[in-house]
Structures are given as structure tokens and as C-alpha cells.
Amino acid sequence: MKIIEAHKSPSHDAAHTHVQGLSEFIDDRPAVAGELHVGVVYSPHPHARIVGIDPTDALAIADVVAVFTARDVHHNLWGPIFQDQPLVADTVVSFVGEVVALVAAETREAMEQARRAVRVSYEVLPAILSIPEAIAAQSFLGYERFIRRGDVDAAIAAAPHKRDGVVYIQGQDHFYLESHAAIAYPRDGGQIEVHASSQHPTEVQHIVAHGLGLRALDVVCVVKRMGGGFGGKESQAALFAFYASLVAHKLNRPARCVITKDDDMIMTGKRNPFEIHYRVGFDSDGALCGLDARLFSDGGAFADLSTSIMERAMLHSDNAYFLPAASIVGKVCKTHVHPHTAFRGFGGPKGVAMIEAILEDIAHSLEKDPLDVRKRNVYSAPDRNVTHYGQPLENLLLPELFDSLESRCDYRARRASVREHNAKGTSTLRGLSLTAVKFGISFTTRFLNQGNALVNVHQDGTVQVSTGATEMGQGVNTRIAQVVAEVLGIAHTDVRVMTTSTEKNHNTSPTAASSGTDLNAKAALDAVTRIRDRLSLVARGVLALPEDRRPSRTAGLGTQPELAVPEGARDEDIIFADGEAYDRLDSSKRIAFGALCREAYLSRVQLGDYGFFKIPGIHFDKLTGQGSPFFYFTQGTACSEIEIDRYTGELKVLRVDLLMDLGRPINHGLDVGQVIGAFVQGMGWCTSENLVYDDKGLLLSHSPSTYKIPSVQDTPRDFRIELIENHDNLQNVRGTKAVGEPPLLLGLSVWTAVRDALYALAPVEHTLPATLPMTLERILLTLDALRLQGLAR
């Protein structure tokens, strides 16, 4: 298995302005004349009836202009899948943080004072605050979903070994650096231009129009960049854009809505918590015979994207492993907490956590190395390469990835070293785990798998590209610029990807599901290829002229008669490279790209085009749970070695080795950066990011001081990342594979390594609780429980 050699890649297009503090985010936009500050008044109760709202005291404050409530909203219900959530609560509040009123003020100080002065009286109602409570009350969102293969009951009954258990998975806050923010500007004729920190400009456009009673043509959403998103700005950003837009529309003044980190964390949804009940049958080698799993997620008070998240969790319940017989059933619980939403990996991490925990437990019960159990179950050709939902696996590299990383990281010797260390009974325990990921790339909702792009080539040979992709730090703009530049044979610095705007790119899909480059670069490729083909005919006409009539290599002179360029034709012998176009058969005949563009303009040849792309060949029947929902799979493996202190529970990640298949990366440097960031974020979810709520549904860990994301001290002491060469992923743009989400799931290797370390103390018949995250406190409590029960060996 050949490794891609590291090489210098073009840097992120905004890296230089980021490090200088010059990049513009929403709240960096200068205030304009008449601009108002918008604040939100939200519920302190998880479930209550609104008895009354009295804005009198707030309106008496100097510089307070107005207070708005649900009666000021034209259409109040919204939702990305089901329209079940009020934009502003009208009669009942359903979670702590639900907005009941908006205040508009001349200054931020007056706005904050007014928020506290609005008097809202409530009649508190009973609340459901957990998955078990929701199950007991039969409180659910949407319908029960299932994926089934074979007779799972018979398979488990016939299996030599059986076990059952529960996997408890908590949520995770997105903790983007830029909290939700939006500025709305009223324009002529009742139009609204809203600048939002959003992954989904089209949804913002539609929600603003819907809530204000406007048409789509009256609203433009602009997204220059976000200070992080991670899924948290896919749907819920539309709310804050609407709040700014409502004030701007009602008062005909610009309005800015920027919330604090504390309010953001209290109000907005997280990664869905899950509770998974399973039964599994397996043989003496650890091979799975049948898996029966019931997945329950906490959707929160409203549906948001939770039903689709559940669907992806079910689709990824196999991860890298063949399930001969399976029944995977999913239900989304309706509770009185903030509506949970998209998060990097969507539902995939929960399904993967379940199967990895099961395999770890099976290995312990059989006294086998967990890696051997994983390799025994891994997908392989030819008769074990179809998923439980019926999709054949093409370009399957999982067995080789396991074998290659096992060798590269010296797994067997390190396993022996870990055993030896733990046998000494020192103050620390070590754990080692090698896990995999097989992440499906595509939206599981088919109509979202489309993108469009506008490419404009100017007379000086520079290019502007507009797509529906939104930049949140991941480098999608840089990758799109590279794809366009390569087709035209020019430097990537001669291509600029413009600010995303719904007036240039219509009906766009969110930048999510790791598909931003796949959809939008492919659409840009479609457009720029047609432009290049027309330019090739212009080049042929110019290069055919006598030398004395040929335009200079630096400026078009328009000396030749107007060229005829038939649509759809191309001169295959014209090569675009190094900023020039030349004849493949006679390389002395060449013209500078800028001069060629000038000649094309003078000959009235179209230098702009609109491209479109839709992912082909995907289908999934949500009612039967069968189909091929994914375009391809990104695959990878990771080996993590950890050390925990027996007496404090302190966790250190000693070494991590990652081996990823990303096809042929467009930008090696950006891809490696995404692998690092995703893995560390996944590691944080598994180990330290603990969401703590009080008994009234209020998030207590709502600040950097109480919610612990990984710091530089938590990252692996020894971190090794390699990308393999894979030239067989032919269907995707440039042969690349998506990287945004898949490596996050490899962060689970740290979690399973912690469980591996703890299993070193437990007898064969004992099963450790499968709870995520394994924080310092949970590790210590597990160690204490083993000691108190006299189980520690």
C-alpha cells in the first residue's frame, strides 16, 4: 500500500488574513447609519405556558426602540424537515432558551438592559428531560425506522455466544469560535439583504421570506465566511438571521443580532444524545452472527434534523464490519431540551460507537485481541462486501488498511508492551486500540445531492467563481479554485472564489455531509470545462494566423476577423498550461492566457458559464431501509495508545497513528489539516466534552470555563498521519474523497483504548459500562467500582 508523499500545497485562501486578524466575520462589519442591536428574551423553563408578556419596563429604557413577539411574525412555524417549531414561541415554551420576545435598541448596552426588563409570566408544566422519560411517555418525533437483513432472532439463538447491553452516548457542543450572528439590511421595495453566519444560505433565504410573508425574490442571503460551523449552523443559523431580518423589516433600519457564547450554548441544539439497546450473537472466533439493535436518540423539543441523523446512525451501525443478520431500529425521542441538530459526522459516530464497543466487549469475553476480532469481522470481497442496507462496497480497502496500519504502527510489539506494563501494577494503566471507519459520502436525502456554480473569466485572464459552498475554515474555496485553475492551466491565485450569495447561486444545498467540494467543485468543473472548450477554438484561430498578424503574448489586439466558435466543440490539440495555451503538435505556437481571453471577448465568445452537478446512481427507500444511499465511502484506520492514572483518572494520549484513503487529494495540506482537526474533535467528544444540565433542563456547562474542548495539552504526544495512494475512485471530482467528517469517527479509538486499559483490571466475565464520553471522573469512578466490587485483578 503506497503512501502519498507530503508536498507543498497551496495554503488556505484566507490564511494570511486570518493570522493577521484582518478576515471579516459578521460582527466585524462596520455599523451603518441607523443600525439597531437585536437581543433575544428566552424561556428559563423547559416547558411552560406563556401567561403574559409585558414590555413596558423595557420600552421605558433610553435607546430602546421596540419589542417584538410572536404576533409580529407572519408565518411562525418552521423546520428543515417538519415545520413544527415556532420562530418565536407564542403560547407555550418547550425548552430552556426558546425565544419569546425580541428587543431592538440603539446600543448594545441598552439592548442587554432591555432583555432583562421584559416581564414574562409563565405557568410551569411537566417536562420530559431524558430518553428514558420519553420512552416511558411514548413521546417521539417522526416514525420508527428500520433496516433489516435475515432472521436476526434465529441467528442470535443459534450463535455459540450471546450478550446484550446498553451504550450511553452524550451530546457534544459545536463550540465554534464565532457564535450565531446575522445583520439584515432593508433594501428598496421591501427587500431584505441578510448577512449570516450560516452553512445553508438558501434555507436562511427561505425562512426569512417565510417568516416575514415575503417571496424568495425579496430576500438575498450573503455568507462570506463563518468562524466555524461543524453542523451547528446548518439549520439553526436561520433563526438568528430571521430575528435580525424581522427587526429590519418592521422598522426599516439595519439590524444586527449577535449572541454571546453563553446564550449560544444555552439556546442551541447539540449532537444528539443516544441510548442504544442491543443483543448480539457471535462465534468462538468473535465473528458476528446477528445483531439486534434499538437506537433511541434525544431529538429535543422539535424535529430539526434529528430524523435524518437517526437514519445515518442506523446506516453506519455496521461501520467497517459485515453483519450476516441484522435488525436496526431507530426512534427519535421528543423531550423538553433545545432541539438537537447536525454535528460533524451527523448520526454516523453513534452507530460506529455502538459496533466498536460491542467488538471490544466480545474480544474481552473471549480473551482475544480486539484487533483480531475486528479483522475477523471486517468487510471483504467477494461474499462479505454488501452492507445491511443492500449497498455493494466498491473500491473496498478496509482489509488492507487494517493490515497496513497494524504493520506500520508496530501493533503486536506494542500490544505486548502494554500487557507487560499493566502487569507490573504501577500507578498507571495503558490501553491500545486499532479501529476503522467506513463513512458514506452523500446526503441521505437525495434532492440535496446537487450543486451549481457560476464561473466568470475576465479579459485579463483572471477568474471569479461563485458556488453554493460556504467557507467555515475547511478550505472549500481553495479546493474549488484549484480545480478551476487546473482546467485553464493558470495559477490558483488567478482564481477567486467569491462570497456566497443566493442571488448568484439558487436553491443550494447546505455545506454539510462532507460534500461541499464534491458538489460545488464538480459544478464549477462543469462550467469551466465548457469555457475552456470555447477558448480552445479561439486559440486555434489565433495560432493559425501568420506570425505578423498574431496578437502579442501579453495583450489581445483583435487583429483577426471575428472567430466562429460552435457550441459544444473543442480542439483537443490545444493545451492549457503554465498560463498559456499552445498547440500540442507544435509547441512553438502559443498565446498567453490573458491575451487569449481578450481575443475571445473581441470575437464575442462567451467567457462565462453556469455549471450544475447532481450525484448519479444513489437511491434509498426509507420505508424498506434498503438501497444505495452513498456515492462512495471514505475509509481509514487509527491506532491510539493511552495512559490513565489509576488514582486520579487522568488521561494522556501517548500516540496516535492514522492511515486514511482520501483518493487523490486536491490539496494534501488542507486534507491533513482536516484529518487532524476532525480526529481531535472526535477525541474531545469521547473523553472530555461533558454537557451538564440541571434538573430543569438548563445547560450548566455553557462557557469555556465549564465545557472542556481539547487543548494542546490533550492532543497526542506522538501524532502520525499518512494518506494512501488510491487512483480507483474515478467517479468523484479529480478522484478525491471527502475528508470533513470521516476522521472524527476515528477519535473513537481513544475511547476504545480507555476501555481496553480498564479491561486489563476486569475479569473475563465482567463487562464494563459503555458510556461516552469517558471523562476523568468517569474513568476514576469505573476504577473505584472495580476495586469496591473486588473485581480488579
Render pLDDT for 615-666 as a digit per residue (tens, 0 to 9): 999 999 999 999 999 999 999 999 999 999 999 999 999 999 999 999 999 9
**pLDDT of res. 566:** 84
pLDDT tens-digit profile of 721-758?
A: 999 999 888 889 999 999 999 999 999 999 999 999 99
**Predicted pLDDT at 547:** 67
**Whole-angstrom Cα distance, residue 677 to residue 646?**
29
CB 395 within 8 A of CB 726: yes
pLDDT at 730: 83
Model pLDDT, residue 546: 74
What confidence score (pLDDT) does residue 553 get?
Answer: 43
Q: pLDDT value at position 565? A: 83
575 pLDDT more than 80: yes
> For residue range 443-469, what is the model confidence (pLDDT) as tens digits?
999 999 999 999 999 999 999 999 999
Looking at the chain, the whole-number percentage of residues with pLDDT higher than 70 is 98
Q: Partners of 294 in the beta sheet?
A: 277, 329
d(C-alpha 507, C-alpha 494), whole Å: 28
pLDDT bin (cut points 50, 70, 90) of residue 564 is confident
DSSP state of 532: H
Average pLDDT, the chain: 96
Residues in Cβ contact with 346 at an 8 Å cutoff, skipping those fewer than 6 apart: 231, 305, 308, 309, 312, 313, 512, 513, 741
The helix, strand and coil proportions of the chain, stated in percent and rounded to the nearest 5, come to 30, 25, 40
Please state the length of the chain: 793
**H-helix or E-strand spanning residue 362:** helix 348-366
Burial class (CB in 10 A: 0-12, 13-18, 19+), 491: middle
Domain boundaries, given as residue ranges, for the chain: 31-127+180-258, 274-380+397-444+622-788, 450-614
Q: Which cell goes with 359?
A: 467488538
What is the distance between the alpha carbons of residues 458 and 598, in angstroms, rounded to a whole number? 8
Answer yes or no: is pLDDT of 549 > 70: no
Closest by CA to 204, choosing from 242, 232, 256, 230, is 242
C-alpha 365: how far from its chain's center? 36
The DSSP symbol for 663 reads B
Cell of 100: 419569546
Distance separating alpha carbons of residues 739 and 719, to the nearest angstrom: 18
- Strand (E) positions, 417-533? 428-441, 450-457, 463-467, 495-497, 500-501
Kindly state the average pLDDT of the residues 558-571: 76
Residue type, 510: P
Instruction: Please report the DSSP string for 539-559 in residue order.
Output: HHHHHTS-GGGSPPSSS----
Q: What is the mean pLDDT of residues 566-592?
A: 94
* Gyration radius of the chain over CA positions: 28
In this prediction, residue 554 has a pLDDT band, given cuts at 50, 70 and 90, of very low
Residues 155-184: tens digit of each pLDDT: 999 999 999 999 999 999 999 999 999 999
Q: Is the pLDDT of residue 481 over 50?
A: yes
Q: What is the DSSP letter of 494?
A: G
Dig out the grid coordinates for 565 from the structure: 466558435
**Chain center to CA of 298:** 19
Tell me, what's the pLDDT at 4?
A: 87
Q: Are 248 and 255 in contact (CB under 8 A)?
A: yes
Architecture of domain 450-614: 2-Layer Sandwich (3.30)
Task: Summarize pLDDT for 248-267 with one digit per residue, the tens.
Answer: 999 999 999 999 999 999 99
C-alpha cell at 244: 435580525
Q: How far apart are CA 453 and CA 504, in angstroms?
A: 8
Q: Which helix (DSSP H) or strand (DSSP E) does residue 327 occupy?
A: strand 326-334
Q: Has residue 489 got a pLDDT over 60?
A: yes
Same fold, 274-380+397-444+622-788 and 450-614: yes
Give me the architecture of the 274-380+397-444+622-788 domain, per CATH: 2-Layer Sandwich (3.30)
At 770, which helix (H) or strand (E)? Answer: strand 770-772
Asked whether the predicted pLDDT for residue 531 surpasses 90, the reply is: yes
Q: Looking at residues 329-333, what average pLDDT do you find?
A: 98
- Tell me: the pLDDT tens digits for 43-102? 999 999 999 999 999 999 999 999 999 999 999 999 999 999 999 999 999 999 999 999
| CA 324/CA 377 separation, integer angstroms | 10
Round to whole Å and give the CA distance between 53 and 216: 32
Would you state the torsion angle of the CA atoms of residues 14, 15, 17, 23, taken in this order, to the nearest 10 degrees? 60
pLDDT > 80? residue 704: yes
CA dihedral 296, 301, 302, 304 (to 10 degrees): -70
Question: What pLDDT digit, counting tens, does each position of 384-415 carry?
Answer: 999 999 999 999 999 999 999 999 999 999 99
Complete DSSP assignment for 97-112: T-EEEEEEESSHHHHH
Instruction: Look at residue 710 and tell me whether its pLDDT is greater than 50.
Output: yes
Strand-pairing partners, residue 105, are: 37, 64
CATH annotation of 31-127+180-258? 3.90.1170.50
pLDDT value, residue 555: 47
CA dist 695 and 41 (Å) reads 21
Q: What is the DSSP string of 85-153?
A: EESS-SSEE-STT-EEEEEEESSHHHHHHHHHH-EEEEEE-----SHHHHHHHT-EEEEEEEEEES-HH
Question: 150 forms bridges with which residues in the sheet?
Answer: none
Active-site annotation, residues: 741
User: How high is the pLDDT of residue 551?
Assistant: 59
Question: What confidence score (pLDDT) does residue 561 get?
Answer: 72
pLDDT of residue 787: 86
Would the pLDDT of 791 be above 80?
Answer: no
106 pLDDT more than 60: yes
Q: Are 474 and 740 in contact (CB under 8 A)?
A: yes
Cell triple for 89: 414561541
Q: Are 236 and 180 in contact (CB under 8 A)?
A: yes
pLDDT score of 563: 77
